[in-house]
């Protein structure tokens, strides 16, 4: 992988993250939990950051019971000061974040005319500003250490939008642009840092099923497939870069 975690001999299925630490936001359930499991089972020590602290605790306990290393971290990504404090606490304890995965996201399914100011702010702050806060803190430290990898989970809404998805599409489109910018800065500042945006299509997770319980699950993909894409991004050897990956169900209605 770009940051030296892979010597080029491993493929995505065999990548080892022994001795590395990862931070996954929105890691308590859905796609975030699938990514946490993949990282932990590859040997990483995983910090599961989520506002759903009880779910995060349960996930970590199940992984520890397997002999993995994971611990919950209560974090609201909308709180810039809390993000800064988390990284400062890690600094003080000698910890580091080798892999940062920004997965936390929310959506409000309403037309523009029906949205409240609070709903617009909540979506934009969670889905765009939160990842930017985390990237800023993580990237600074990765540059200082000379390596690391940042993965931002995007959406087909960053490429093509639909009705009742204004703030979500705006946030994901902005995050995609931010991710591309960070990729270019990493190429300039520190080639040992990988930056990957993953455009994920519809998944059978609470993010969709809680809001649209009538959804035909045959049109969705497993979150494990997207988690595998994260692992692939981390497996790319030095000298190459997985700047952006698109992973959608075969029958994805929002692609292309």
Catalytic positions, written as ranges: 168
Element (H, E) at 46: strand 45-50
Return the closest-CA partner of residue 192 out of 129, 241, 254: 241
Return the closest-CA partner of residue 111 out of 156, 161, 166, 171: 166
Residue 178's CB is within 10 A of a number of other CB atoms, namely 16
Question: Side-chain half-sphere of 221: how many Cα atoms within 13 Å?
Answer: 20
Beta bridge partners of 99: 22, 149
Structure tokens at 187: 């190429």
Beta bridge partners of 153: 198
Q: In which region does residue 94 sit, left (phi positive, over 0), alpha (psi from -120 to 50) or beta (all else)?
A: left
Structure tokens at 216: 């035909």
Structure tokens at 125: 């702050």
242 touches 236 (CB < 8 A): yes
Q: In which region does residue 4 sit, left (phi positive, over 0), alpha (psi from -120 to 50) or beta (all else)?
A: left
Alpha-carbon distance of 34 to 68, in angstroms, equals 14
173 touches 123 (CB < 8 A): no
């Amino acid at each position: 992988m770009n940051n030296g975690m892979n010597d080029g001999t491993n493929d995505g299925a065999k990548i080892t993250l022994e001795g590395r630490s990862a931070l996954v936001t929105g890691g308590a359930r859905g796609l975030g939990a699938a990514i946490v499991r993949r990282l932990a089972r590859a040997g990483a020590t995983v910090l599961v950051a989520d506002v759903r602290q009880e779910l995060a605790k349960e996930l970590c306990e199940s992984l520890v019971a397997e002999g993995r290393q994971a611990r919950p971290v209560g974090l609201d990504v909308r709180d810039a000061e809390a993000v800064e404090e988390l990284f400062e606490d890690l600094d003080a304890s000698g910890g580091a974040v080798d892999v940062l995965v920004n997965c936390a996201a929310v959506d409000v399914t309403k037309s523009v005319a029906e949205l409240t100011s609070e709903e617009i702010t909540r979506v934009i702050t969670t889905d765009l500003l939160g990842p930017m806060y985390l990237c800023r803190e993580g990237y600074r430290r990765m540059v200082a250490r000379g390596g690391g990898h940042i993965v931002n989970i995007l959406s087909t809404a960053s490429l093509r939008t639909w009705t009742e998805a204004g703030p979500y599409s705006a946030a994901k489109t902005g995050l995609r642009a931010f991710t591309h910018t960070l990729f270019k800065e990493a190429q300039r500042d520190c080639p040992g840092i990988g930056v990957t945006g993953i455009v994920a299509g519809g998944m059978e997770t609470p993010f969709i099923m809680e809001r649209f319980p009538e959804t035909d699950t045959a049109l969705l993909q497993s979150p494990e497939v997207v988690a595998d894409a994260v692992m692939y991004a981390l497996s790319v050897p030095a000298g190459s870069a997985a700047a952006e990956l698109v992973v959608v169900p075969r029958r994805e209605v929002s692609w292309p």
